[in-house]
């Protein structure tokens, strides 16, 4: 584990998580996403696609922050784009508004660097854009995005895509429509 004295950060691969871990992570996600329509089944720490890697933030043995990452290829007219797709970004409601979300996104960037992906990718509602922009993410506001939602339906442009330059620059991100032929995390 690494991190500040108050928050310990951990990376956990999906196959290293046991049922108790999914209970703990699912508990945090259920709390954090309670104001939204995203639902977590008991004992499940995912709602759509399962991540391959988790970024976990602990304070005094309490899980207070979480994000999930999976590597995948987006389809673009310029060819396949390898991205670290990010989702399930959450801070415990009792710890929100104090910068922990920003610290979590710094750890996500570190994880994406370790995974050696050119770019990070995520989708979010427009109200959350400023939160991610503060951590270096760039909104693809003029780009059509076709994705598969948590409810398994193919959806067009319901949420906007955002990109983080990791090993590549933003200049190398091609223009044109994107297809995420996979379910959002
Ligand atoms: C989004 C989230 C991770 C931010 O965590 P946090 O610890 O509050 O983040 P920080 O303290 O670093 O930053 C807070 C900033 O993000 C903004 N923000 C946080 N949640 C927001 C939301 N749902 N809508 C709009 N802005 C939001 C705050 O307004 C604040 O901005 P300010 O500093 O200008 O006031 C947390 O609010 C959360 O878990 N939300 C519920 C789950 C969720 O919606 N996840 C994102 C799915 S895409």
pLDDT, tens digit, 9 for 90 and up, residues 151-181: 999 998 766 899 999 999 999 999 999 999 9
Tell me how far the alpha carbon of residue 78 lies from the centroid of ligand 1, in angstroms.
Answer: 33
Contacts of 179 (CB under 8 A, 6+ apart): 74, 75, 76, 145, 146, 147
The answer to whether 74 and 81 are in contact (CB under 8 A) is yes
Report the percent of the chain where pLDDT is more than 90.
92
pLDDT greater than 80 at residue 5 = no
pLDDT at 1: 54
CA dihedral (22, 56, 9, 71) positive or negative: positive
Question: pLDDT tens across 97-110, in order?
Answer: 999 999 999 999 99
- Average pLDDT of the chain to the nearest whole number: 95
Euclidean distance between CA atoms 64 and 5, whole angstroms: 14
pLDDT at 158: 64
pLDDT greater than 60 at residue 185 = yes
- Whether 123 is in the pocket of ligand 1, judged by its Cβ within 6 Å, is no
Euclidean distance between CA atoms 24 and 50, whole angstroms: 16
Instruction: Tell me which residue has its CA closest to atom 9 in ligand 1.
Output: 101
pLDDT greater than 80 at residue 3 = no
| Three-class secondary structure assignment of the chain | CECCCCCEEEEEEHHHCCHHHHHHHHHHHHHHCCCCCCCCCCCCCCCCCCCCEEEEEEECCEEEEEEEEEEEEEEECCEEEEEEEEEEEEECHHHCCCCHHHHHHHHHHHHHHHCCCCEEEEEECHHHHHHHHCCCCEECCCCCEEEECCCCCEEECCCEEEEEECCCCHHHCCCCCEEEEEECC
- Indicate the domain borders of the chain: 8-183
- Whether 124 is in the pocket of ligand 1, judged by its Cβ within 6 Å, is yes
pTM: 0.95
- Whether 32 is in the pocket of ligand 1, judged by its Cβ within 6 Å, is yes
Euclidean distance between CA atoms 11 and 158, whole angstroms: 30
The answer to whether 82 and 184 are in contact (CB under 8 A) is no
CATH of domain 8-183: 3.40.630.30
Question: pLDDT tens across 33-64, in order?
Answer: 999 999 999 999 999 999 999 999 999 999 99
- Whether 99 is in the pocket of ligand 1, judged by its Cβ within 6 Å, is yes
């Amino acid at each position: 584990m690494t991190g500040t004295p108050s928050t310990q950060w951990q990376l956990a691969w999906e196959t290293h998580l046991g049922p108790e871990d999914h209970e703990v992570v699912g508990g945090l996600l259920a709390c954090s996403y309670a104001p939204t329509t995203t639902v977590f089944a008991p004992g499940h720490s995912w709602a759509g696609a399962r991540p391959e890697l988790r970024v976990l933030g602990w304070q005094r043995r309490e899980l207070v922050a979480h994000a999930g990452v999976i590597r995948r290829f987006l389809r673009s007219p310029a060819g396949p784009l390898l991205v670290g797709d990010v989702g399930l970004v959450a801070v415990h409601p009792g710890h929100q508004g104090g910068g922990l979300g920003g610290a979590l996104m710094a750890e996500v960037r570190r994880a994406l660097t370790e995974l050696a992906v050119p770019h990070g990718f995520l989708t979010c509602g427009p109200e959350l854009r400023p939160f991610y922009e503060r951590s270096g993410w760039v909104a693809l506001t003029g780009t059509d995005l076709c994705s598969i939602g948590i409810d398994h339906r193919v959806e067009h442009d319901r949420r906007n895509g955002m990109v983080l330059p990791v090993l590549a620059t933003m200049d190398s991100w091609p223009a044109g429509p994107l297809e995420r032929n996979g379910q959002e995390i």
